[in-house]
């Protein structure tokens, strides 16, 4: 049986970024740039004032000098006419500096008398002037291809004139639950039935990742019903099924995928939870068959699907960020499969403690409640004691920590 790393390598070698598309900048949040973006103009476009005040040519002015005020330049206006020697113009923050002016004094540093000002301090040449192109030069690369467009990038791109950008689009992901025992939320489960909670769990994770979710509902445990739903699912960029992948008499998912030319990358990985996870491609689309047990489908989503989605979406490093932590509770050893333990993070004296969830059963939604990280425990590991140092895989933002910007 493959180990986690071997299986993950297969996923990352198989899944390729989606084709780039040009979108309005307003649609680019969270997307990765498919090509570098050049500035269309200088910013500031011309020398301008950084203060509400008075602009003049410094020449020999100094504290006590009196300058007649020869005009007013509000923001949005511009003045080409030179300012008479020895005079000043009233100017607002952001307004272009007139020719011949090189210095600005703020309102607070002058005494205003009739139609003139008296300098209270000796200004230095160029003070409170923002030079043309100081922030952005026309044609310079604003952002390189491969950069994720987050809120901090939005304003920069807009300021440089990037009204349309080429990005890797958000993956469209079809989600299908399988099993005769499932009913949709809102219906009363009868004997032997349970609610299809996996759709809620996985849709939420997909939405966190910025994906477009195409919910396909529940397929019954017959090849015919499965085939109809799988055909719909393969119209998306990626298909996720849950349930029906272990060794039960009615585990038809893999067999039915065969009708769509399924090429199996792997089936079964030496991990707990999530051993029966299935991955491959059908009609050129990546397909994940996640185990039906809720915590197994949640864990295999984090371990395989999220990296695949990030690869589809063009992120250079699709792997979950790691965080060094101190164990806040003991972990039992003696498992043959590599385990992934759900837990929460608590800040203590500038370090993070990982608190394992009380319940870790793969059938238990409780194990994921509030969970922010997964702790990998190697197969055959001895018990780990509280206080030991280790790395965890981050899934959600712990309090006080900023996501490392994906690169
Ligand atoms: N003989 C064997 N039996 C099992 C094996 C095995 O290797 N040999 N593996 C076990 C492991 S590990 C897991 S994990 C499960 C996964 O099995 P399936 O993917 O085939 O899932 P199902 O049998 O369809 O369901 C398992 C469990 O999860 C519940 N479930 C299913 N779908 C949903 C859903 N959408 N929402 C909520 N809960 C769901 C289902 O009712 C079952 O209780 O197999 C073991 N068995
Ligand atoms: O591997 Mo299964 O996911 O343990 O129950």
Q: What is the pLDDT of residues 95-120, one digit of tens each?
A: 999 999 999 999 999 999 989 999 99
The verdict on the CB of residue 272 being under 6 Å from ligand 2 is yes
Q: What does the pLDDT read at residue 61? A: 79
Q: Contact, 340 vs 299, CB < 8 A?
A: yes
Annotated domain spans of the chain: 4-18+170-312, 28-43+135-168, 48-130, 322-394
Whether residue 318 has pLDDT greater than 60: yes
Q: What does the pLDDT read at residue 59? A: 86
Mean pLDDT of 338-351: 90
> Of 246, 251, 295, 365, which is best to mutate to test ligand 1, by the most ligand atoms within 8 angstroms of its C-beta?
246
Q: What does the pLDDT read at residue 334? A: 80
Average pLDDT, rounded, for the chain: 93
72 φ, ψ (degrees, to nearest 5)? -140, 130
Dist CA 34 CA 145 (whole Å): 5
Dist CA 8 CA 290 (whole Å): 14
DSSP state of 250: T
Whether residue 404 has pLDDT greater than 60: no
Mean pLDDT of 59-80: 90
The verdict on the CB of residue 198 being under 6 Å from ligand 1 is yes
Closest residue by CA, ligand 2 atom 4 = 273
Which residues, other chains included, contact 65 with Cβ-Cβ below 8 Å and sequence gap of 6+? 118, 119
Choose between 397 and 77: higher pLDDT.
77
CA angle in degrees (0–180, nearest 5) for 296-298-303 = 90
In this prediction, residue 400 has a pLDDT band, given cuts at 50, 70 and 90, of low
The verdict on the CB of residue 394 being under 6 Å from ligand 2 is no
CATH of domain 322-394: 2.40.340.10
The verdict on the CB of residue 297 being under 6 Å from ligand 2 is no
The verdict on the CB of residue 292 being under 6 Å from ligand 2 is no
Dist CA 310 CA 19 (whole Å): 14
Dist CA 220 CA 200 (whole Å): 18
Closest residue by CA, ligand 1 atom 27 = 293
Whether residue 405 has pLDDT greater than 50: no
Q: What does the pLDDT read at residue 21? A: 97
> Of 243, 256, 339, which is best to mutate to test ligand 1, by the most ligand atoms within 8 angstroms of its C-beta?
243
Whether residue 32 has pLDDT greater than 90: yes
Q: What does the pLDDT read at residue 407? A: 33
In this prediction, residue 406 has a pLDDT band, given cuts at 50, 70 and 90, of very low
Dist CA 229 CA 221 (whole Å): 12
Give residue 45's region: left, alpha or beta (phi > 0; psi -120 to 50).
Answer: alpha
> Of 202, 256, 276, 366, which is best to mutate to test ligand 1, by the most ligand atoms within 8 angstroms of its C-beta?
276
Q: Contact, 271 vs 4, CB < 8 A?
A: yes
**How many C-beta neighbours within 10 Å does residue 124 have?**
9
Dist CA 291 CA 238 (whole Å): 17
Q: Give domain 48-130's CATH number out of 2.60.300.12, 2.170.190.11, 3.55.50.30, 1.10.10.60.
A: 2.170.190.11
Q: What does the pLDDT read at residue 398? A: 56
Interval 263-305: pLDDT, tens: 999 999 999 999 999 999 999 999 999 999 999 999 999 999 9
Which ligand does the CA of 362 lie closest to? 2
In this prediction, residue 252 has a pLDDT band, given cuts at 50, 70 and 90, of confident
CATH of domain 28-43+135-168: 3.90.105.10
CA angle in degrees (0–180, nearest 5) for 346-293-246 = 135
The verdict on the CB of residue 243 being under 6 Å from ligand 2 is no
Interval 181-191: pLDDT, tens: 999 999 999 99
Choose between 209 and 311: higher pLDDT.
311
pLDDT over 70 percentage in the chain? 96
Q: Give domain 4-18+170-312's CATH number out of 3.30.465.10, 3.30.565.10, 3.40.640.10, 3.40.980.10.
A: 3.40.980.10
Dist CA 218 CA 242 (whole Å): 10
Among the listed residues 89, 239, 111, 132, the one whose alpha carbon sits nearest the alpha carbon of residue 178: 239
Measure the N-to-C terminal CA separation of the chain; round to a whole number of Å: 32
Dist CA 275 CA 304 (whole Å): 12
């Amino acid at each position: 049986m493959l180990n986690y790393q071997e299986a993950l390598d297969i996923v990352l070698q198989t899944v390729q970024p989606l084709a780039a598309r040009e979108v309005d900048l307003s649609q680019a949040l969270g997307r990765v740039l498919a090509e570098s973006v050049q500035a269309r103009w200088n910013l500031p476009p011309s020398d301008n004032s950084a203060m509400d005040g008075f602009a003049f040519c410094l020449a020999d002015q100094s504290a006590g000098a009196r300058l007649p005020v020869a005009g007013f330049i509000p923001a949005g206006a511009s003045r080409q006419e030179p300012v008479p020697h020895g005079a000043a113009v009233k100017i607002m923050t952001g307004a272009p500096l007139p020719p011949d002016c090189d210095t600005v004094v703020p309102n607070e540093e002058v005494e205003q008398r009739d139609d003139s000002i008296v300098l209270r301090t000796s200004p230095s040449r160029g003070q409170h002037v923002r030079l043309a192109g100081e922030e952005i030069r026309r044609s310079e690369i604003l952002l390189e291809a491969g950069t994720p467009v987050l809120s901090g990038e939005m304003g920069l791109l807009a300021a440089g004139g990037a009204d349309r950008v080429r990005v890797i689009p958000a993956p469209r992901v079809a989600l299908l639950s399988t099993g005769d025992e499932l009913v949709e939320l809102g219906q009363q489960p009868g004997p032997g039935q349970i609610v299809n909670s996996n759709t809620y769990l996985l849709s939420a994770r997909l939405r966190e990742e910025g994906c477009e979710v195409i919910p396909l509902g529940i397929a019954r445990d017959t090849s015919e019903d499965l085939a109809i739903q799988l055909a719909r699912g393969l119209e998306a960029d990626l298909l996720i099924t849950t349930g029906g992948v272990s060794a039960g008499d009615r585990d038809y998912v893999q067999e039915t995928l065969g009708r769509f030319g399924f090429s199996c990358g792997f089936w079964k990985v030496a991990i707990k939870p999530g051993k029966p996870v299935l991955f491959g491609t059908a009609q050129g689309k990546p397909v994940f068959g996640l185990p039906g047990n809720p915590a197994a489908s949640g864990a295999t989503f984090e371990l395989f699907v999220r990296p695949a989605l990030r690869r589809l979406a063009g992120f250079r490093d699709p792997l979950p960020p790691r965080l060094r932590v101190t164990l806040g509770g003991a972990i039992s050893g003696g498992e043959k499969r590599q385990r992934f333990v759900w837990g929460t993070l608590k800040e203590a004296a500038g370090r993070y403690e990982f608190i394992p969830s009380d319940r870790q059963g793969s059938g238990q939604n409780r194990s994921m409640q509030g969970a922010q990280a997964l702790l990998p425990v190697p197969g055959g590991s001895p018990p780990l004691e509280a206080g030991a140092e280790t790395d965890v895989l981050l899934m959600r933002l712990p309090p006080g920590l900023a996501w490392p910007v994906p690169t």
